[in-house]
Homo-oligomer: A and B are copies of this chain.
Amino acid sequence: MGDKAVVLLSGGLDSATVLAIARAEGYRCYALSVDYGQRHGSELAAARRVAREIGVEEHRRLQLDLRGIGGSALTDSAIEIPTRPGEGIPVTYVPARNTLLLSLALAWAEVLEAWEIFIGANAVDYSGYPDCRPEFIRSFEQTANLATRAAVEGRGRFRIRAPLLKLSKAEIIRKGVELGVDYSRTVSCYAADERGHACGVCDSCRLRAKGFQEAGVPDPTLYRC
C-alpha cells in the first residue's frame, strides 16, 4: 500500500494530469477541491468526474468564498475576463490563491499524515502568475515545515510536489495521454457554461488549445460553438 498524498484538484487539465502522475507513482491520493467562488463552477463538477475515473481514496470539497475579497476577474463579476492576450500578469490573477490552496491542502495533509502535497502549478505555458514559480513553491514548503505540529515534532517532513512546473502545455498533455487521462472530462475555461463547455477565447482556453496542437493530440475540448 502506497504512502498518502494530498492532491489539489481543480478539474482542469493540469491538476488532472498531476493526479494521474501521483497515482502512477503509487500514492494513495486524497483529492481536495476548493470552491472559492470562481466563475467556472463547472470545473468542480469536472473534478468529481476526474477523481472518480483516475481513482482516489477520498475527494473532499471545501468552501472558501473569495468573493468577499475580490480583486480578480475570477472572483469579482465587475471585472471582465479578457479575451485577448495583454501585457503583464492578467486580471484573472487571484490574490494569494496558491498560498491559500496550499495552506488548505497542508491542513488536511497534517490531519492525514500525508507528507506529499501535489499541485498543478506550471511556470512555462502559463499566465505569469507569481505563485506558479519554483521559488514560491520552495518557499511555501519551508514555511509548511515551520508551521505544523507534525513537522516540528519530527513525525515527517512535508514536500510540495509540482511535477508540471517546468513542462510546456504540450509536454503536460503528452504525459497525461501516456497515463490514460481522458481530457474531455476536464474543464480549463475561465468562462465555461454550466455543462462545462468552453468559450475558446480566454487566456486559459488559448493556452490549452495551443497545447493540444503542439502535442499533436486531437483536442477533445467541448466548445460552446
| A interface residue numbers (CB < 8 A to B) | 60, 62-66, 68-71, 88-89, 93-100, 103-104, 106-108, 110-111, 129-131, 133, 135-136, 139-140, 142-144, 146-149, 151-153
Contacts and interface: CB of A to CB of B under 8 A. Distances in A.
A93 B139 contact: no
Contact of A130 (B65, B88, B100, B149): B149
A108 B94 CA distance: 11
A107 B111 CA distance: 25
Contacts of A140: 143, 147
A111 B70 contact: yes
Given A99-B103, A99-B147, A149-B130, A68 B64 contact: no
A64 B94 CA distance: 17
Q: Which of A65, A146, A151, A152 has the largest number of chain B CB atoms within 10 A?
A: A146
Contact of A96 (B129, B136, B148): B148
A111 B62 contact: no
A100 B130 CA distance: 19
Contact of A104 (B69, B139, B149): B69
B130 A136 contact: no
